[in-house]
Amino acid sequence: MSGETSLQSLLQSMKPTLNPGAYVFCSIESLKQLGNIEPLGSFREHEGLTVIISQAQAQQLSLETDYVAAWLTLEVHSALSAVGLTAAFANALAKHSISCNVIAGYYHDHIFVDINQGQRALEVLQQLSLQSVSQE
């Protein structure tokens, strides 16, 4: 099942949702350090393994953190080859001084913003989607 590639369709039907909880990015050497905790996401870098886990899990493991994030999901099934979606929502958030860290999953895009800006980011993304419908 391939995802949507039309930028207009993606923006109109992105259906952003704010997931509950607080999330952190941590750098560890190995997944073994997490024990039974399964990370929300991970990426191997030269310096270590970046993992995304809940803030509570990081505290439980005494992992160092410096950025606490809210997690938003765009519910539209975006194709990995789609062009412009990340730029569109990143620009909209930037206009409101909201930085974002993006993870593209197979089905959806996931956006991490400062925990104190989660609700505002949701509103900005909802407005972007509404503006795209009215521009049709």
- Which tokens is 120 given? 């505002």
- On the question of pLDDT at 136 being above 80, the answer is no
Domain residue ranges in the chain: 7-134
Q: What is the mean pLDDT of residues 2-12?
A: 91
Output the pLDDT for position 124.
98
In order of 35, 95, 104, 107, the CA distances from 77 in angstroms are 32, 25, 11, 5
- On the question of pLDDT at 61 being above 70, the answer is yes
CATH class (in words) of the domain with range 7-134 = alpha beta
Contacts (Cβ under 8 Å, ≥6 apart) of 92? 124, 125, 127, 128
